Chain A
């Protein structure tokens, strides 16, 4: 069996899940939601195997280059989504998160790089902590972004007394608020620690800060935007439509920073 088989299998399941969930939206057929969830769960299993394969082959967590990082982020996002489904039976996030997971893993497959053992110079606990924390932080922040957007859509629908295509699938405002706030606080803390660990590692390896590139600039902009979003939540202004713009911009900044990853 080729080493990449679990990757392509996961990708195929994610594609099926994404198409099914989008189909359920256009056909207004709720039963497709469960089918999509089943596809994504199967994809998750294959994806987990794929991550295990990388760990076994390289001897380190799958976070050292762009394909590995985005694959891990996609895996974490789906893990959070599945956990949320078990807790809140939230279906609407699927419309946003399944395509995102598919696109991230698709990106990982397209720019697939050879399995390379980590450069000995990079081998340090701080570096691994940096990769792990930023990846987990990004995943949590993407989930927070998704739920902030869902909150805004549903809040607008209730206020304007209209029903959009997602009305039936978006959970209550309270559930969206709780999930986005928790994901934001946890994700922001982890992401901040991850960035700090990266700065520290950069300083220790080259005795000077790296020249900021796309990755660093994107990460910084995303961090600032998430800080503004968190401040908005903490001050009780989480309902303002401005948050929709901030969440969307933070999402773009994160994607830009992911595209700039080039560790090995």
Chain B
């Protein structure tokens, strides 16, 4: 029995292919049933996200993978050759390493992104609830989630922002701590500003104000965030009330001057103000940065933070790869030794049975003997059995560390045949 994985991801297939192959949440249960009921498949799990679709299966015979690929092609109404052009196929040890890397975010489009661990967990839970996991896959997923957590804790790979909106959010939390109860002023309805506001709104802001030259657009955006549209002329008066200001208009001049912020700061008392200028040309006077309690970041500042963090992430990814190699080797070793245990136990039982039978026969022939003599004979027979078992057990254990699972299986089979085990 071994592991196999077939799938596509953002590196091997364009979005047009991925969207055809993706399995929606609604279809997941049915797909799991189809794959796990194929002959030779002991268990299966499916991970389908916007960047990847992968089927992990524990199989008795690796040829069954062809059947799985044929099924995927049929389901997506694609030619098998076309599917195979984008697919990757991984076997046993590579499956373990790959799954560990995926859950740790090392195989993601943005390295180290934390959402994927949750998606792997969801995939595991769905398969678990559908009863499509065999013990081997069950152990694999539990270990995968453990390794992903370990990597996050030990390397801190997902800690820092690698996108402009997230960098702004991270800075805001460095200034204010929790963002719930704060108010944000969105100046302009540009795409980047909207995206940044979305990030902030997820943190439980109290209120969103939107100021835009086009009143309709201001109202539309405010409605989307459950906020209030304000007139452009009134935005300066809102500086004293809001804690975060995000500007992203196409205006060719400064919309907020340093005098405006100075006046606002006088009314704010011990409350800091965080200003994010995403516009080019800039909308916020750079002199604002010199005012006590006002922290101004422009698009270049945020980009620099994001790219610096990305570099740090890549270094952490190297640390994570080492952890994965170590953890995968340990897991595979454990998996293989667990497969060898039944054979070792059976072997020991078989020879012990022979020893006990032969000993009884011998003792009957010998007639009355002293307890000391009996103990000596028993010790002799046990010693012989142990010597005979030594090398077969050693070979079985050595085979567990063989990277190819089929080698271990072949040795187990040979020993079973030689000793006549069932």
> Do A and B make up one complex?
yes
A158-B153 contact in complex given A168-B159, A239-B292, C-beta closer than 8 Å: no
In this assembly, does B235 line the interface, its C-beta being within 8 Å of a C-beta of chain A? no
Q: Size of chain B's interface in residues, with CB distance under 8 A?
A: 23
Whether A172 contacts B153 by the Cβ 8 Å rule is no
A236-B175 contact in complex given A168-B156, A168-B159, C-beta closer than 8 Å: no
Whether A174 contacts B153 by the Cβ 8 Å rule is no
In this assembly, does A175 line the interface, its C-beta being within 8 Å of a C-beta of chain B? yes
In this complex, the interface size class of chain A, counting residues with CB under 8 Å from chain B, is 20 to 34
Whether A174 contacts B156 by the Cβ 8 Å rule is no
Scan residues 30-45 of chain A and give those whose CB is less than 8 A from a CB of chain B: 30-31
Whether B153 contacts A175 by the Cβ 8 Å rule is no
Residues of B within 8 A of A238 (CB): 270
Whether B176 contacts A172 by the Cβ 8 Å rule is yes
Residue of A nearest to B179 (CB): A172
Whether A159 contacts B174 by the Cβ 8 Å rule is no
Scan residues 168-198 of chain A and give those whose CB is less than 8 A from a CB of chain B: 168, 171-175, 177
Residues of A within 8 A of B171 (CB): 158
A31, A159, A161, A168: the one within 8 Å of B153 (CB)? A31
User: What's the least CB distance linking A160 to chain B, in Å?
Assistant: 10
Residue of A nearest to B271 (CB): A174
Interface of A is mostly: loop
Residue of A nearest to B274 (CB): A158
Measured in the bound complex, the distance between the Cα atoms of B159 and A25 in whole Å is: 16
Whether B269 contacts A30 by the Cβ 8 Å rule is no
Residue of B nearest to A237 (CB): B292
In this assembly, does B295 line the interface, its C-beta being within 8 Å of a C-beta of chain A? yes
In this assembly, does B289 line the interface, its C-beta being within 8 Å of a C-beta of chain A? yes
In this assembly, does A29 line the interface, its C-beta being within 8 Å of a C-beta of chain B? yes
Whether A158 contacts B292 by the Cβ 8 Å rule is no
User: What's the least CB distance linking A11 to chain B, in Å?
Assistant: 29
Residues of B within 8 A of A177 (CB): 270
A159-B272 contact in complex given A172-B176, A174-B176, C-beta closer than 8 Å: no
Whether A175 contacts B174 by the Cβ 8 Å rule is no
Whether B269 contacts A173 by the Cβ 8 Å rule is no
Whether B156 contacts A173 by the Cβ 8 Å rule is no
A172-B269 contact in complex given A161-B301, A239-B292, C-beta closer than 8 Å: no
Measured in the bound complex, the distance between the Cα atoms of B293 and A236 in whole Å is: 10
Residue of B nearest to A160 (CB): B289
In this assembly, does B297 line the interface, its C-beta being within 8 Å of a C-beta of chain A? yes
Point out which of A30, A154, A163, A174 has the most chain B C-beta atoms below 10 A from its C-beta.
A174
B289, B304, B305, B308: the one within 8 Å of A159 (CB)? B289
Residues of A within 8 A of B308 (CB): 163
In this assembly, does B177 line the interface, its C-beta being within 8 Å of a C-beta of chain A? yes
Residue of A nearest to B173 (CB): A172
A154-B174 contact in complex given A31-B154, A159-B289, A239-B292, C-beta closer than 8 Å: yes
Scan residues 14-32 of chain A and give those whose CB is less than 8 A from a CB of chain B: 28-31
Residues of B within 8 A of A240 (CB): 292
Scan residues 188-240 of chain A and give those whose CB is less than 8 A from a CB of chain B: 236, 238-240
Give B205-249 as 1s and 0s: 1 = Cβ < 8 Å from A's Cβ atoms: 000000000000000000000000000000000000000000000
The 5 closest A-B pairs by CB, nearest first: A172-B177, A174-B177, A30-B156, A175-B177, A173-B175
Query: Which chain A residues have a beta carbon within 8 Å of chain B's beta carbons?
Result: 28-31, 154, 158-159, 161, 163, 168, 171-175, 177, 236, 238-240
A-B contact pairs, 25 of them (CB 8 A): A29-B154, A30-B154, A30-B156, A31-B153, A31-B154, A158-B174, A158-B175, A158-B295, A159-B289, A161-B297, A161-B301, A161-B304, A161-B305, A171-B177, A172-B175, A172-B177, A173-B175, A173-B176, A174-B176, A174-B272, A175-B177, A236-B269, A238-B270, A239-B292, A240-B292
